[in-house]
Each structure stands twice: as structure tokens, then as C-alpha cells.
Amino acid sequence: MPQLRIAATLAGAFALGLAALAPGAGAQQRRVPSSVAELQLSFAPVVKRVAPAVVNVYAARVVENRNPFLDDPIFRQFFGAGIPRKQVERSLGSGVIVDPRGLIVTNYHVIEGASQVKVALADKREFDAKIVLKDHRSDLAVLRIEGAHERFSTLEFANSDALEVGDLVLAIGDPFGVGQTVTQGIVSAVARTQVGISDYQFFIQTDAAINPGNSGGPLVDINGRLVGINTAIYSRSGGSQGIGFAIPANMVRVVVASAEGGSTTVKRPWLGAKLQEVTPGIAESLGLARPTGALVASLVPGSPAARAGIKTGDLIVSIDGTPVDDPDAFDYRFATKALGGDARVGLLRQGKPAAATVALQSIPDTPREEIEISSNSPFRGATVANLSPALADELRLDPQTRGVVIVRVTEGSAASTIGFQKGDIVVSVNHQKMVRPSDLARIARAGSRLWRITISRGGQQISMMVSG
């Protein structure tokens, strides 16, 4: 079966690619192709202009050595002295300088869990880099070059909404570590949703060869402007098969703007509504010719959507005049709006056109209480938190849900072995309702021979019994 693979873990810069002599030419004058008739010319001018702004990203992280023999005290006594409990993993990726002061954008998964990050410029100089912002929801991160007192070359942002199927693009990276490489192709599709890479499912698809090693590298147009950040491939073999995905530049711009403003997190507009995909059956019941739009399934009282007059059962069909095909498309369009203004949301209400003006405000957050469960229980290794509207939005849960939610699960822990996942809501343990993280921590410390656990996952309740 084909698999979606993150195009990460190898370095990314690039070198010269396509170059061919024009018919009858002697010493070729190189320039960007400006018409179909000039496609025999070279993309080298674009590559030369873009090259100084692309960097390699080297990330190091300390991981636990999960050798099962180390749990045996006899093995540790005789053989385990030379086996380190912890080891350093290193990953390589790409990045793009987007601010002359040394701000670099890359993929979140390239630097996830990193304790040390270095970057190498196109001229081979290396610098330490500081992680200034991580945004797992968009799979983007922003770094800052440390210890440099100069202005760096940058890439200009393109308007990725203006990108069209058939536009020429260049993908840049170091596939499989073979060396600096540039590949050329076209935009195969825009607004790809249902891809499953990050929370915001709205990707540029390209047939330019993207392979492991391209993560964080730029996808540029023939004017050398950044149209996207290469992120993943769809592949049967692990190599490029002509289906690659890039995060649109307009989403990248939002994340970079937050970092430039000094924030360590990305503040986005909050709708305060749970949206549902329109199935063929729902479309027929609403009198639609085809499934389209985002159906409002529920609302948070007092949220921007509620204050704007949006109601449960409304069908969102556009935002500021741009059609919306599904909830993912709306999420992307809404998330790339600037805070402080308004958005005009087009609706169908009981089959009739309507509209609502939604204030673009960030989500209110309550103090987050996080507790890592370390007691000997089925939850050992899980970190739980109180489910606020902000956390519900981050985890893409029903915005009205309250309770105790799992936000992290340590690999190899008891919680991981049982199968608990990030986003699971712990409803009850041993017939006691879980309201606060401290409730779960208390009952985990008390211990039990038999654990009766009920969780909510994906809107469904799951009950289990686990021996102590």
C-alpha cells in the first residue's frame, strides 16, 4: 500500500540543476524562461539567486536507550555497564532564511525534541541556532542564527493563493544524502486536504521530485519566490513517485510573523465552532448539487461565531468571498487571517443565503495544569491536562468538551503499551469521574489490582479493564 512519508532527516541545501543550450546558440545567455517557447533556456539564474538563502539544519536530541535487557538486573550486573542508558540521535533537514537578521523557517518535525541545533549556510559556514518558535499544528518551526552580526540573503514570499495548477516550480534539498540537488516540476494540485500531515490540511501538491532529505526546504516559483515549504511525499517505496506536498507560503508567513513579533507561539483567530464535513447524504438532504462547504455541528457560547449570529446547522460556503469546499479548507483560510479585523463568512441557512461578520480574535486560554503520571499504574508515562477551549482547539476536539485529556505519551511507557494516545479524554477510572488532572494523579498513586477505565476517543467511548 502507498504510504505518506515525511520528507525529513537528511540535509537540505542545493546546487545547479537544469541547463540546456538554446538551438543555434554559442555561449549561452542564461535567464529565466518567460514563455513556453523559451523552455529550453536555463533555471540557473533562479538557483543562483535563491541558493544563499537556503541552509542545512542539523538537530541533535537525547533519547532513552530502550534495550529490554537493561530491565533485567542480572544482565545489567554482568553486561550492562558499557551500554549507555541514553544516546544522541541526529537528524538533518533544510531551512530557508526569511529575515535578514537570521530568522530561518523549517519543519517542526526536523527539530522536534532537539536539544541542540546547528545550521550550515550555502557558503559552508556553520552557526548555532536557537529555536524561537515551534508550531506542531502547521508542522513549522522558526530558528534564529546565533553569534552572527550580518544581514543574510532571504527569500521573498509569494502569494500562494495565486498559485495555479500547471505553474512551474523548483524543489530544493539533499535527497538521500547524495548531495545538493534542485528538481523541477509543476504544481499538480492546490488546496489538497485529507492528507494527514498536520492540523491544517491544505497543501500544494507537486510532481517535482521530493525525497527524504527535502523537509524544510523551499518550493520556489520561476521568479525565485517562496511558494511553500517541502514537507512530505506519498510513496510506495519511500522514494519520490511524483506526489509531493508543501505547506503554502501564506501559512508560513503567519508563523514567521508571530516569531518576528517576539511570540513563542502562533496566535490565530478562533471561530469557536465545531465543523463537520458534508457527506453525499447530507448534501442531498440540504438540496445541494454536490457535497461542499463546512457544516456547523456545535458552538461555544460567547465565542466569535456565536456572537456573529452563526447557528448550529448553518452551512459555511465561503470566507471573504473565497469558496470553502470542506472544513479543512475553512480552517486554513480562517487561520491565515490577521488578528484584529473581521471576516465575512458566507452561509446557507435552511437553504437560503446568509452572511455573518466574525471578529478575528485569538482563543482565550485558562491556566493549563499539566501533570505527568509517574505512579505505577496504566497511566504511567502519560502527561494529562485540564481541557480548556484553547487546548480543545489545539487537539481538534469538540470545543465544548471539558475534563482530563492526555497531551503526551512517553514511548515505551505503560501508557504507550496499553495504547493511550494524545487527545484521549479520560472519562472515569474505577467508577470515579475525572474532572481535573489532580484527580487522575491521586487515583494513580492509590494503586489498584484491577483498573476499570473509560476514555473518549474520536467521539466514541471506550471501556477497558487492566490488571494492576
Alpha carbons 209 and 182: distance in angstroms, whole number: 9
SS3 309: coil
List of long-range contacts for 33-40, beta carbons under 8 Å, 24+ apart: 33/168, 33/222
Q: Is 109 a catalytic residue?
A: yes
* Letter string b/e over residues 358-394, b meaning 16 or more CB atoms within 10 A of that residue's CB: bbbbebeeeeeeebbbeeebbbbbbbbbbbbbbbbbb
Q: Which listed residue (139, 207, 221, 331) is catalytic?
A: 139
Q: Is 139 a catalytic residue?
A: yes
Q: 207 has which bridge partners?
A: none
Alpha carbons 308 and 424: distance in angstroms, whole number: 31
Q: Which listed residue (91, 215, 235, 240) is catalytic?
A: 215
CB-count exposure of residue 326 (10 Å: 0-12, 13-18, 19+): buried
β pairing state of 86-99 and 103-107: antiparallel
Q: Which three cell numbers stand for residue 125?
A: 559556514
Residue that is written with C-alpha cell 471501556 in the block:
463
* Letter string b/e over residues 443-459, b meaning 16 or more CB atoms within 10 A of that residue's CB: bbeeeeeebebbbbeee
Q: Which listed residue (91, 94, 109, 377) is catalytic?
A: 109
Backbone angles phi, psi at 414, to 5 degrees: -60, -40
Q: What is the DSSP string of 106-136?
A: EEHHHHTT-SEEEEE-TTS-EEEEEEEEEET
Judge whether 13 and 218 are in contact, CB under 8 Å: no
Q: List active site positions.
A: 109, 139, 215
